Amino acid sequence: MSNWAFPTEMQANPDEYDFDLRRALDSVVGLRAGIPADAFTASILGTERSGNGVVIRDDGLVLTIGYLITEASEIWLTSSRGSVLPGSALAYDYASGLGLVQPLGQLDLPALERGSSGACGVGSRVVVAGQGGRAHALKANVIGKHEFAGYWEYLLDEALFTAPAHPQWGGAALLGEDGRLLGVGSLLVEEQRDKGTVEGNMFVPIDLLEPILDDMLKLGRPGSAPRPWLGFYVTVVEDQLVIAGLAQGGPAERAALKVGDRVLEVAGRRVNGLAELFREIWKQGAAGVEVTLTLLRRGSTSQIRLRSADREEFLKKPNLH
């Protein structure tokens, strides 16, 4: 991942900012994770994952995007100075998508101060930074702030979207004009614009971390009751909610839902769009609650009751230190 560089004119230039850009970039580390072949997420996310992380405390605590470290049996952190240390996955919050890694040794890197993503508006000038110093630091702009729904039962009320796009921003740092951390890189996406679509990157806002950080450190997850998880992958086809896949052994598969089924209602309430679907499911209660879906299959409608689950129960657990 290190044998590339942005063209000089696209790189963040220290002379253009009022903060110490070089110091901020030193806070970003490379992250590589190995996942057992029998892990629940191995077939979806792979057994070798790589991206970035950001040092957020003086003890070296690293913030990253959680899918990189889910079920990881080994984690390696690499600084821009060339040092390499093993790490341990501490926590993954499925609601926000954020994950924490504790280095098993001294990184000796500065902690990046956290800002507020609420103070960042569309059009704001930002820096997106991966491990590797200025060569991997991109001048960018915020092109959107809005809701994001992912087919894997994931929803953010407001996410940050930046351009130009880059495919390697998993766990990367989004820096505001004051050098503070505004978000953590997640996905390469297409943003709808007036004249069509444009590629961009979605970032998880840093404001989601503070309310859950203490519980994540103590418990390995937020202290609130886990949301109900059905284990289906839903996509929108011609304004219809269509099941495109099923998690093996998950509640939806056990309840005999089928790929191609159309989801019409949750608990008798019509749902339109992924965000509305997930919110109605989560309204039913905590993980383990029974959820009633109205489905359309081959021209016939039916109601199916299925017992939801806690997503974490299907995953290999991190080692807590």
- In the chain, DSSP assigns E strands to 28-34, 48-55, 62-65, 74-78, 84-92, 98-103, 125-129, 137-150, 154-163, 173-175, 181-193, 196-205, 232-237, 240-246, 262-266, 269-270, 290-297, 300-307
**Inside any domain, residue 31:** yes
- 226 and 220 in contact (C-beta within 8 Å)? no
Number of domains composing the chain? 3
Residues 240 and 197 both lie in one domain:
no
Residues 76 and 170 both lie in one domain:
no
Provide the pLDDT for residue 302: 97
**Inside any domain, residue 197:** yes
**Inside any domain, residue 17:** yes
- What percentage of the chain has pLDDT greater than the value 90? 90
Rounded average pLDDT over 150-155: 97
14: confidence class by pLDDT, cuts 50, 70, 90: very high
Rounded average pLDDT over 242-257: 97
Segment 66-112, tens digit of pLDDT? 999 999 999 999 998 889 999 999 999 999 999 999 999 999 999 99
Provide the pLDDT for residue 104: 96
Name the residue with higher pLDDT: 303 or 321: 303
Cα(317)–Cα(229) distance, rounded to whole angstroms?
17
Q: Which of 119, 91, 86 is nearest to 103 (CA)?
A: 86
197: confidence class by pLDDT, cuts 50, 70, 90: confident
Residues 258 and 275 both lie in one domain:
yes
How many other C-beta atoms can be found within 10 angstroms of the C-beta atom of residue 150? 18
Cα(8)–Cα(37) distance, rounded to whole angstroms?
40
Residues 15 and 104 both lie in one domain:
yes
Provide the pLDDT for residue 87: 97
Provide the pLDDT for residue 227: 97
Q: By residue range, what is the domain housing residue 152?
A: 117-208
305: confidence class by pLDDT, cuts 50, 70, 90: very high
- Assess whether the previous peptide bond of 164 is cis (omega < 30° from 0): yes
- Over 70: is that where the pLDDT of 278 sits? yes
Q: Which of 149, 160, 284 is nearest to 229 (CA)?
A: 284
Residues 242 and 304 both lie in one domain:
yes
Residues 31 and 104 both lie in one domain:
yes
The residues with which 173 forms a beta bridge, in sequence order, are 129, 184
- Over 70: is that where the pLDDT of 319 sits? no
Residues 242 and 270 both lie in one domain:
yes
Rounded average pLDDT over 201-228: 94
1: confidence class by pLDDT, cuts 50, 70, 90: low
Quote the tokens at residue 159.
Answer: 């996410």
**Inside any domain, residue 278:** yes
Residues 106 and 128 both lie in one domain:
no
**Inside any domain, residue 225:** no
Last residue of a domain, which of 189, 219, 249?
A: 219
Residues 99 and 126 both lie in one domain:
no
- Over 90: is that where the pLDDT of 290 sits? yes
Quote the tokens at residue 19.
Answer: 């903060």
pTM score:
0.95
Cα(115)–Cα(11) distance, rounded to whole angstroms?
22
- What percentage of the chain has pLDDT greater than the value 70? 98
Rounded average pLDDT over 131-153: 96
**Inside any domain, residue 2:** no
Rounded average pLDDT over 164-171: 94
Last residue of a domain, which of 173, 189, 219?
A: 219
- Over 50: is that where the pLDDT of 321 sits? no
How high does pLDDT run on average in the chain? 95
Provide the pLDDT for residue 22: 96
**Inside any domain, residue 268:** yes
Last residue of a domain, which of 219, 254, 279?
A: 219
**Which CATH number belongs to the domain containing residue 74 in this structure?**
2.40.10.10
2: confidence class by pLDDT, cuts 50, 70, 90: low
- Over 50: is that where the pLDDT of 54 sits? yes
Q: What are phi and psi of 239, to 5 degrees?
A: 65, 15
Provide the pLDDT for residue 80: 87
Residues 102 and 21 both lie in one domain:
yes
Provide the pLDDT for residue 318: 61
- Over 90: is that where the pLDDT of 221 sits? no
Residues 67 and 121 both lie in one domain:
no
Residues 102 and 143 both lie in one domain:
no
